[in-house]
Structure 1
Amino acid sequence: MSYPIVQQRPLDPSQKRGWLGLRGRARESGELPKPAAHQVLVYRVNGHYVVDNAERALNSEDVVEASHVSVVDMTRNAEVMVQLGIPSKDADQFTMQVTFVCTVSNPAVVVREGMTDAQAMLRAYLKSHNRIFELGLAHKLDDVNEVRRNVNAQVKAFATVKPPVMPGIDIEVRSVEVLTPAGLAEFERKRTQQQRQHRLVAEQQGFDQARELDQDEHTQLRSTKQQRHDLSREAERKDFDRYQRREDRLELNELSEAIRNDPQRVLLLAWEQGLLGPVEMAERMSAEARRVEDNAREDRAAELEHKRAMERAQLEQSTEDRRWRRDIEQQQLLWRREDESFRREDVRQQRQIKLEVIRELGKHGYLDMTNLDPNRLVDELTTKDDAPQVGPADETPALPSAADVDLEDDEDDEDTGVREEDAG
């Protein structure tokens, strides 16, 4: 099955449904492919690409107007294996197998760019690095372990310097292997078979020698020594293989650590492997230095901008605090003025009431029965006031009311009437 685009299908213009086409246009279920749980549909609608997670109805506008539909595999870390032949010294070839893991990040871009076969594109990516095909020219098929070490380092360094890029797909190199050549495998199989036969023959010989010990004791002893020698050589070979695998792991770990922690080390490694020339190496090193400097400049600019933003926020907060205190002071002053106005109004009303009482007493002649001087009382009531209060500077004193004037006139008349009676 192809990856990442599993299936593509053109769509005919949708037809109206129902009698005389009154029910509007819609797709039939058989027109569209059935995606699996890990797949999505991508429609091409008027030159645009719309992703459908199996949620759009058959009569939705995008489905009705679509002219093409594709099924895209969204499997996370899908493995894509690429095999390439590497020429050897003895007119045969090693088989390199590189395993990539791919994850579709943007299915619409995958369909738009026509990423129908990731394996073919990754094979072309590996073929673009000619150095890989020169690694086996100096080695025979027996040197497969040496070729494995060189190919592994070369491919990983190449993928670091020039990572594989496919629009809409995230790609990572998972493993690099050099398969055992078929001829070598057959040779090893035959050699193992011969060794087994030799061992059987030796065992048979040992049996014969044991049976004929009395006849040829010297021959039996020599055969025993030969067997011990063979076993010793086999043990040494196994120890050497274990040592070689351990050295390979250490070298790969050192390479991975260098690549992960030091970009300049990656460039130096690529230059040592012949991936970069001196001019390109210098350009890459200069570009890396500029990148580090740009990152430092951006960090300083971001820190300065943050500091300025904090200062602006503090200034705005201080201004807001001053405005709030000024509003509170103005409100408190307004309240004091209103309190003073209410107090004066209360004093005026009390004075008015007292004047009305004296006026009524004067009309009924009760003032003649006491020693009170009405004119003095009126003067005290009209001039008496509390201590000065805080208030607005432009507030004007209250004018005498009409009742005050009438009371004074009435008191004068009453005084005059008493004097006339006394005269009579």
Structure 2
Amino acid sequence: MAENYPLVEQREYGRPEKRGGILKKRARREETDLPRIAAHQVRVFRVGEEYVEDHGQLRADDPLVVSASSVTVVDQRAEVPVVVETRIPSAQAGEFTVRVTYFSNVVDPCAVVRDGVTEVEALLLAQLLAVPGLTEDGSDLPIVESASVRSRIDARLTAYHEMRPAEVSGLKVRCGQVEVRTPEEQAAHLTEMEHADLVQEAALRREILGAELVLKQEELRSLKAEREARNAHALAMMEEENRQRRDSLISRFRRSSESEEQEHDLTLRGQRNRSTRAEIQEDISLLGTDPLGAAYLAFRNGEISADELSTRLHEAERDRLGRSEEWTREDREYDMRRQAVRREEERWRIERADAQRQLNRVDQREDAVARRAEDTRRWNLEHKDRQLKHEEGRADAQRWERDEREWAQQQLAVRADLYKQGIARGLFDSTGYDAGALINSVGNVPNSPGRPSRDGEVEAEVQGELNDGTRAADEGTAAAGRHTDDTDDTADTELDFGGTDQEASLVD
């Protein structure tokens, strides 16, 4: 039987993270969060208290997968063998080993996951031990009668499972092969199993060692290839550097050798000229300061004739002139070579200075362009700010003027309404208050320094003017009443009472 049966793998999920763009961010899981399943396996997701079966069709962004708290892979192979072993006493000192093989099928994966069926052997062993009379089938037989005991147990289990089949949550189990072994057979079987386990373990170890050896060899090959590539690259770099250095040294040596060869030629020529001049001076010192002393001496001695002396004099003069011209030509050539070298050096310095000035002009031009662009951008920003401030000021002025006109119209409407109410009630008939001036003052609305906060202020201002007019009329009426009789006093009292009522009604 497989080590993990029927639950192959279990994973618990946490809260899913939100992934995606800013506008399309949503909760989802990664594809690696979903365990892979074989053809005979299914996935069971737990969503709250419900268990949902999946045959590999749900994706990582499915709402059911996102809201799941765990996932379990269930093995649905048919007729999976489950071996259960127990011991029963015999008539002798030893014990029989009963080995029963059950065959299991998963019929309800959700029930298997919900009930956590992980140890199928333990459940079947408990049901096997619960079979009545199982432990007594071999108590009356010796160890050698293992076949009889097997027949008894096989018949008992067959009859028992026909009446009460084995029940495991989500599994369908049927009883298969029954084996009864003696202690010697069990020991031999255990020895064989241990040997098989050792052989399998040794084979597995050899496979692991072989795989590790292959990995090591591959790693060594990769390291060797990497080292060879690195060494080849380093060697190529070194060869290129050496070649460049060699070319530089060769060019430098050639320039130096040419310069030294030229200087050596000039030095040899100078030494040769100096040697020639020294020999001539030595001859002159030997023969006198006059170069023609020898010729004159030979002529005086009669060794040469006058014609020969003249010929020698002419030859000496020609030789002197030729040597002078040769010296002059050599000196001129030497000066021309030195001037050519100096001109070449001066031309090289001038070209380097021109290149440096050109680079400086390019840098200055780029800096000037950058400064002009920055100044233009700054001027545009300042110009936009000034335009915006001008437009905002103009809008504020228009809004302030509109508010002033509305305020003046409100004042005018409130005053006209209150004055109309006072005239309609006859408040100005008996007070002597000039109603015409009052009507004319309706259009004289003073400029308000600020915007009104509520219409009650206008009403209070107009009401104050009406109260001032009423008090003035009352004072005039009282002054006139002092010159009348008691009847006039009574009338004055009634008039005053009526004015007070009118004021009170106007205020209301």
TM-score (norm 1): 0.42
Higher helix proportion: 2
Structure of higher RCO (CA pairs closer than 8 Å, 6+ residues apart): 1
